[in-house]
Every structure is written in structure tokens, then in C-alpha cells.
Amino acid sequence: CDCPICSKCVVTPEHKQHEMIDIMDEYLTKRELISRESGILEKFIIREFDKVESTVGLKMSKLSKDYDNLVDLLSSEFEKKVLELKSNLKEKKAALQSSHERDLKELRSQLESISRKNQEAKQIKNKYKGMLSGMDVAAVLSSPFAENQFRDVPALVEICAPKYSPCSDSRLVDSILGELDFSNRSTAVEGYKISTEDHSFTGAKVLLDEPVLLSTFQTDYERVHSIFCVGNNEVWVVGSVYGTVTRFNIRGTKLETVQVIKGYSPNDIHVDKDGNITFCDMGERNVSMWSKGKRETIYAWKKWKPTALCVNKLGHILVCLITQDKLNAKVVRLVKSKPKQKIQFDDQGRELFLKPQTIVENINENICVLNMGAKGLVVLDKFGKFRFSYDGSQANLPYFFRPTSVTSDYLGHLLITDAMNNCVHILDQDGQFLLGCVGRSMLNIAADLSLDENDNLWVGELHTGKIKVIKYLTSRQEVESIPSK
């Protein structure tokens, strides 16, 4: 019998000849299967679909950018052809003007010749009429006379304007701007099975039990406020010299300094692969970009001040904002320099943020905001719905939690600098505390942190002006190759 039954049903005639299966056994078995499948869905399936969804979103963004570039190219080519056509029109007008003047000169010469003959004929006619009106015999006899005068009209040249033949071939007009090829633009990518094996990704890294200090170097700044890694061995630093941002390599060699603001420092920075620096300017209440030696304002507010920003892989800028009195705060998403999302309250209408000082987007597109004070870390989904918060209590450290910055690695870990305990807290992407000793005995009041492309952690110290580079991850192969004691 494939129907689970309870003890009361055992004696009924319907199940008399059947092998009995207790309903609780069936329930527990089914519950275990559902629990296991739920775990697989959460741990593997949903995360993989989140990753694919993010990839497709990135492709959509790139496709839109490519289409925008094509429109710009067409417009540029159109402007170029317009200039060429204007130049050609100018040449043709000049040729017409020159031909017009030559033709008029020729006709004017003919007109003058005819006019002279006509004038002579009129004069002789008037003379003859004068003589004929009287009876002056002597005048008639003495007057020169030639018969058949002015009977011949000289040869004339007929001149007409040039002929114009407009282009009636639409194909020629189409070819002026080139052609668009809409063929073979999509490629089918085969689907695949999502692996549910924990070790299916052999290149995955794990947390080191004992982090390793790779480098320490002194910057030009007495205090470090903000840092941002580029590549695998360079970092941009904002410090106590007002308005400057400086690039150093991992050996501490200064490579470049730019002055993006005058009189005060930018609050937070992001540097893209082209070296463009996006930063918060609290004084001017805007987010700006420094590119090719020039500053461009991306967006400005009248009553709100930007305190922190991050740029996600789609190019969206997430900005933390506070009011002048610092009593209200919100997060705004800028897409192509326009606000597209505002996050300020939870489902009960309560303020989500208090003096936000750092923001980052996780691999699953969670928005992670680090606040000063009791709120600590607040994590929301991409729609702004509250997921979880972290106040440092899970770490069980000796001093109270004083977070200064947060970032996220490719595994989804959240890394939070703790200035009071001189360490970095590490959480998983669901907010579970993993480790709280990274950097202990290595750090001295951490101000900001960033990750390079080698997954090494760079930490800027507030009062020393130093940068420290720490290895906190290692490959699974390295861990497995270590012999057990």
C-alpha cells in the first residue's frame, strides 16, 4: 500500500492485507528530503541563478551601452557627412556664381554691341526725318546716304543656366551612412546542470586560520581616510592633505597625485579600470568624476550631503546621503546620472540608517550599509527590503564594536573594520559571523579597507598614515596539502 496510515486505520478492512508503514516514519523521511532539498536550493541553486541573473543583467547593460555607442557613431558619421555635403554645396554654389558671371559678361557684351547699332540707327532715322520735314534741297543732296543700312543683325550666342540632376537613387543615400548588419548577432549558449557538490569548484578559496601580513608602507598622509585598490598591487588613497588623491604601489612607491577638490578631502572614492575617479563632495553636495584632468558633476543635491558611494558591476552608483542636521539618512541609486531608487525606511516606516559612512554591493546584489553608532551594519536586498543587521555582538571581543568600513569579496564574505578592537570581522553573505581575529596584532585603528584582484586585503590606518596588505584567503589545495598533526 502506498498510502501512509495512522494506528487508528490499521484495523480497517481497506488496509487488512497491506504492509503497514507508520505515518510518522513517512513524515520524518519526507521532512528530511524536503529539508535537504531546501538546503540545496538555498546553498547552490538560488545562488547560481542569482549569479546567472546578475550576468544577464550585466549583458543587458553592456548591450544597451553598445547600442548607445552605435547611435553615437551614426550621429557622428551623419555630422561628418553633413560637413562634407556643406563643403560640396559651397563649391557648387561658387562654381554656379562664377559661371553666372561669365555668362552675364558674354550677354552684356552682345547687348552693348546691339545697343550701339540700335542707337546709330535711331540717330540716322531722326536725321532723315528732320530733312524730310522741310524743303531743304541742299541738305538732302549733301547728306551721306547708303542704301540697305542696318539690315543685318549680328550673330548672337544663346546661353542658358546649367542643368541640375538630383540624386534619385535611395541606395546611394543609404550607403552614405554605411550599413547596419543585423545578421548572426546571437549565439546559443547551452544550459548546464548546477553542481551541488561542496568541492566542485576546486579553485575556491577558504579563510586562513592565521592571516599573513604581506606588506606595510607609509603614505604621504598623516591620516588615512579612504582607500580603493586597482589591479593587484596598487591603491588610491585619500588622506589628510585636503583635496588630493594619491596612487601607491604595494612597495609604497608614490605613482601619482591628483587634486580633485580644494580645501577639504573627498569622503569616499571609486576608481574604474580607465583611472576615472568617482567621489563624494560633501561641501558641494554632489557626486563627481575626475577624468582626464577635468572634473564633471554626476549629480547634485540641494538639501542632502553624500557621505559614501560604491559603483556596482552594472555601473549603477549607490550613494549614502544625510541631512544637514544628520538626523535623516537615505540611499539613492543613480543610473546614467539619474536617481532611479531611494531607500530610507523599513516596512514599519522606521529609519534604516543612521549616519551611514560606507556602502558596498555584495555578489548577490545585497546593499550593505555601515552606520556609525548602534545600527552597525544594515543589509538590504536589491529592492531595499531589510535582510539582516550586525552589531558586532557575535564576535565576543573585549571592546565595544566601532565599525569604520565594509567591503565584500568574490565569495560573498562581508569584511568590516573594527577600530576599537583593531581587527576585521568576517561574515558570510547571510550575516553569520565567521571570524573576528583578522588583523589583530597587525592593525592600529583601521579607517578603511579594500580588496585587490588577488583577493588580498588592504587596510588604511587612521592615525599612522600607513597601509597594510593582509592575506586572509588561501586555496583549498593549499589547505588539503598541509599534513595533519
Mean pLDDT (the chain) is 84
Residue type, 202: T
Q: How far, CA to CA in Å, does 151 sit from each of 117, 154, 368?
A: 11, 10, 107
pLDDT tens for residues 46-102? Answer: 878 888 887 888 888 888 888 888 899 889 888 988 898 899 889 989 988 999 999
Copy the grid coordinates of residue 125: 532715322
Rounded to the nearest 5°, which phi and psi values hold at 156? Answer: -115, 155
Look at residue 10 and tell me whether its pLDDT is greater than 80. no
pLDDT for the residue 22? 63
What is the per-residue pLDDT for 202? 44
94: left (phi over 0), alpha (psi -120 to 50) or beta: alpha
The domains located in the chain, with CATH, are 22-180 (no CATH), 205-481 (2.120.10.30)
Span 349-399, pLDDT tens digits:
999 999 999 999 998 889 999 998 666 899 999 999 999 999 888 888 888
Contact 242, 263 (CB under 8 A): yes
pLDDT of residue 274: 86
The answer to whether 242 and 256 are in contact (CB under 8 A) is no
pLDDT of 200 > 50? The answer is no
pLDDT at 21 over 90: no
Mean pLDDT of 211-231: 93
Angle, vertex CA 395, rays to CA 391 and CA 396, nearest 5:
105
Q: Give pLDDT, residue 330.
A: 95
Least confident of 159-168, 238-247, 340-349: 159-168
Instruction: Identify the bridge partners of residue 170 per DSSP, sorted by sequence position.
Output: none
pLDDT at 369: 95
Question: Which carries the bigger pLDDT value, residue 306 or residue 479?
Answer: 306
pLDDT grade for 184, boundaries at 50, 70 and 90: confident
Which pLDDT belongs to residue 170?
66
Q: What is the pTM of this model?
A: 0.61
Residue 5 has pLDDT above 90, yes or no: no
Q: Is residue 24 predicted with pLDDT exceeding 80? A: no
